Amino acid sequence: MDRIESIQKGLVDGVRVSNLVCQIHGTPMVEFTEPKRIGGEDNSRVLDPFCLECTQEEITKYSNQKLEENLNAERFIHTYNVLARDSTIPKEFSEASFENFLVKTDEERALKEFAENQVQKYLDGMEGNTLITGGTGIGKSHLCLAMARAINEGYKEKGEPVSVLFVSLTEIIAKIKGGWNYNGGATLPEHEAIEILVRPDYLVLDDLGAKNAEIRPKSDWEQDLLFSVLDKRTKTIINTNLTGKELQTVYNSRNYSRILKGLDGNTFKAEGIPDKRFRLLRMKEELAKAQSRKPP
């Protein structure tokens, strides 16, 4: 006996078969014997007769959707969520994106287009590093973060979430060394740091080599650390204010060759873009002044 028959025979409490037929399934619809109200006090309404098949389909659809959401939440722990959760993103870049990267000169446009193009190549499955070189304050970090975010979102939209991590190697090194200064035991053990940097599908190394007044080779320890990371990776996005020549002074040839891994067509040398830090500060000051002059 199917469910409709049981209801027709009065075997199911509280419902009866109505005289309406479902347009989709052609089966009789059922209704509550006592009018049932749904919704809040202000907009409650009596439930219309309903189709059991349609209701079952809705329930199945809803539970499949919930199941999918839960599976995704699980999948995102080690993929999509990595960028926001584990990266070291300075506050000034909390909103950095391609949309808010202002373009005034041809070179700025070319740099932005290069970064957007790299994202597309990575979304298309390209293996190989990306390198952006150029002076301080020209938007390298801003664009690298925009790239990281776009890659993360792009893969999520494709239904193939990946892990993307944005870090400054200088900060990681400080964390490792920090422990040595305090108690002889590292806060971030070196092997863990390497593991953190090797694991993500896409890694952004922000401000590699952090240019100081003096350009000199990094210590053997730092060279080995970088090598352990780059040697095992194929998709690392690097920005630096060191020139190609300076990179070769600061890093040994093993590291330099790992930086160049798959770099053909994936490098941008920004030469004439002005430092934005000063300009942005001035723009903000001017804006604040203009606002303070405004009548209330």
Contacts with Mg ion by CB under 5 A lie at 140-141, 207
The least distance separating ligand ADP from the CB of residue 256, rounded to whole angstroms, comes to 21
* Chosen from ligand ADP, Mg ion, none, partner binding at 101 (C-beta under 5 to 8 Å by type): ligand ADP
Chain residues binding ligand ADP by CB under 6 A are 92, 96, 100-102, 108, 136-142, 276-277, 280
Nearer to Mg ion, 50 or 93 (CB): 93
Give the angle subtended at the CA of 140 by the CAs of 144 and 121, to the nearest 5°.
Answer: 40
Using the structure block, give the residue that is written with the tokens 């808010």: 100
**Distance, CA of 32 to CA of 46 (rounded, Å):** 10
Nearer to ligand ADP, 262 or 274 (CB): 274
**Distance, CA of 100 to CA of 148 (rounded, Å):** 15
The least distance separating ligand ADP from the CB of residue 135, rounded to whole angstroms, comes to 7
The least distance separating ligand ADP from the CB of residue 294, rounded to whole angstroms, comes to 24
Give the angle subtended at the CA of 73 by the CAs of 67 and 78, to the nearest 5°.
Answer: 140
Nearer to Mg ion, 54 or 210 (CB): 210
The least distance separating Mg ion from the CB of residue 140, rounded to whole angstroms, comes to 5
Nearer to Mg ion, 162 or 204 (CB): 204
Nearer to Mg ion, 155 or 268 (CB): 268
DSSP H helical ranges for the chain: 3-8, 52-77, 82-86, 106-123, 140-157, 169-183, 190-198, 220-230, 244-250, 253-259, 276-293
Nearer to Mg ion, 79 or 239 (CB): 239
The residue with its CB nearest to ligand ADP is 139
* Chosen from Mg ion, ligand ADP, none, partner binding at 121 (C-beta under 5 to 8 Å by type): none
The least distance separating ligand ADP from the CB of residue 81, rounded to whole angstroms, comes to 24
The residue with its CB nearest to Mg ion is 141
Q: What are phi and psi of 102, to 5 degrees?
A: -80, 140
- Cβ burial of 179 (10 Å; 0-12, 13-18, 19+) is middle
SS (H, E, C) 12-76: CCCEEEEEEECCCCCCEEEEECCCCEECCCCCCEECCCECHHHHHHHHHHHHHHHHHHHHHHHHH
* Chosen from ligand ADP, Mg ion, none, partner binding at 277 (C-beta under 5 to 8 Å by type): ligand ADP
The least distance separating ligand ADP from the CB of residue 206, rounded to whole angstroms, comes to 7
Nearer to ligand ADP, 186 or 273 (CB): 273
* Chosen from ligand ADP, Mg ion, none, partner binding at 280 (C-beta under 5 to 8 Å by type): ligand ADP
Residue 274 near residue 241 (C-beta atoms within 8 A)? no
Residue type, 83: L
The least distance separating Mg ion from the CB of residue 240, rounded to whole angstroms, comes to 9
